Amino acid sequence: MTAVQAALSGALIGGLYALMAAGLSVTWGTLRVINLAHFGLILVGAYLSYQLTSAWGIDPMLTLLVSAPALFVVGAGLQWAYDRFNIVEFNSLLVSFGLLMIIIEVSTQVWTADFRHIDAGANPYGTSALHLGPIALPVSRLVALGFALLLMGGGHLVLERTFAGRGLRAFAQDRTVAASFGIDHRRLGLVVGGLAGVSAAVAGMVFALGNTIAPAHAYEWFGTVFAVVILGGIGNLLGSLFAGLGVGAFSAVVAVLWDPSYEPFVLFLAIILALVLRPQGLFTRRAAA
């Protein structure tokens, strides 16, 4: 029973990893920008939700009305700058790592390195849980899963079924030919960068619901979220969703049945094995080139 409980609550934490991975995966897969600053945007999103809830006493979810548009603008602005200076792939990894450090430093100046959390009185999701027989599911994590299903399922449909989505996928494969059919990568890039910012606002808000916030968290997300992006297949939103749930459940089961200190070791060993067997990611169909 402990294993079942662990797998379920782990999968729910995985919903949060998946949300964090969504923006990273899409900008990497379609625009070839590996935007580590995304972790900084998630951090800022978490702090904004914390700050606005504390200042106005509103429901934490309502803070998205402010943080989502704000981070849309920041995400679009970042993408504009990456495009303007032609920063992609390996360069973007370096530049955005620098940006991430700056964001973390500024956050430390503004909110200090102390742990912050949304006041229990203002957070209706923080401590309550849904009980299914002997199994307890924390509401804050169910919210994470709900948002992950909504955003990533919706994003997947947009990529697969709409003209803009096809344009993005085509652009990811062959920029020149895509341009010859009228795809304006600058405009699409601004929208995608902005939406990645919105996903960061949501991931940050959801993180703040169930966790304490400190600037150093942005570094801690790195390993797991990268693993989720790569396992899911870069640019594949549904893949990231499944990979997030799987990684969350797997780590939690290892922690319960074995020892929490082995969790990173076993997790990354499993990821390396998975990538050796399926280098294109677990959930990517690959056609013969």
Partner 1 sequence: MLEVRGVDARYGDAQALWDVALDVGAAETVCIVGPNGAGKTTLVQTIAGLHRAAAGTITVAGVDVATLPGHRVCDHGVATVPEGRRVFGHMSVRDNLLLGAYRRPARAVHRETEARVYELFPRLKERSGQQAGSLSGGEQQMLALGRALMALPRLLLLDEPSLGLAPVIVDEVFDAIAAVNATGVSVLLVEQDVERALSAASRGYLLIEGRIVASGTTSELRSSADVRERVLGM
Using a 10 angstrom Cβ sphere, with 0-12 exposed, 13-18 middle and 19 or more buried, the burial of residue 45 is: buried
Handedness of CA 238, 166, 226, 111 (dihedral sign): negative
Choose one: 59-67, 119-127, 172-180, 210-218; the region binding partner 1 (CB under 8 A).
172-180
Q: Which lies closer to partner 1 via its Cβ, residue 108 or residue 284?
A: 284
- Residue 163 lies near partner 1 (rule: CB under 8 A): yes
Q: What are phi and psi of 138, to 5 degrees?
A: -65, 135
To partner 1, the closest distance from the beta carbon of 172 in angstroms equals 8
For residue 77, the one-letter residue type is G
- Residue 157 lies near partner 1 (rule: CB under 8 A): no
The only residue of 32, 169, 226, 275 in contact with partner 1, by rule CB under 8 A: 169
- The span from the CA of 159 to the CA of 23, in Å, is 13
Torsion of CA 106, 111, 113, 115, to 10 degrees: -140
To partner 1, the closest distance from the beta carbon of 284 in angstroms equals 9
Q: Which residues of 248-259 are buried (b: 16+ CB within 10 A; e: fewer)?
A: bbbbbbbbbeee
Asked if 266 and 23 count as a contact pair (C-beta separation under 8 A), the reply is: no
To partner 1, the closest distance from the beta carbon of 30 in angstroms equals 12
Choose one: 9-17, 107-115, 178-186, 190-198; the region binding partner 1 (CB under 8 A).
178-186
Choose one: 98-106, 119-127, 266-274, 280-288; the region binding partner 1 (CB under 8 A).
280-288
To partner 1, the closest distance from the beta carbon of 92 in angstroms equals 22
Asked if 19 and 247 count as a contact pair (C-beta separation under 8 A), the reply is: no
- Residue 179 lies near partner 1 (rule: CB under 8 A): yes
Q: Which two tokens stand for residue 110?
A: 């503004």
- Residue 269 lies near partner 1 (rule: CB under 8 A): no
Residue with tokens 């923006």: 23
Number of residues that bind partner 1 (CB under 8 A): 22
Q: Which lies closer to partner 1 via its Cβ, residue 167 or residue 210?
A: 167
Q: Which lies closer to partner 1 via its Cβ, residue 44 or residue 229?
A: 229
- Residue 32 lies near partner 1 (rule: CB under 8 A): no
Handedness of CA 62, 225, 235, 86 (dihedral sign): positive
Q: Which lies closer to partner 1 via its Cβ, residue 116 or residue 169?
A: 169
To partner 1, the closest distance from the beta carbon of 281 in angstroms equals 12
Residues 6+ apart with CB under 8 A from 58: 52, 122
How far separated are the first and last CA of the chain, in Å rounded?
Answer: 46
Choose one: 43-51, 121-129, 162-170, 246-254; the region binding partner 1 (CB under 8 A).
162-170
To partner 1, the closest distance from the beta carbon of 169 in angstroms equals 6
User: What are the residues binding partner 1 (CB under 8 A)?
Assistant: 163, 166-167, 169-170, 173-174, 176-185, 285-289
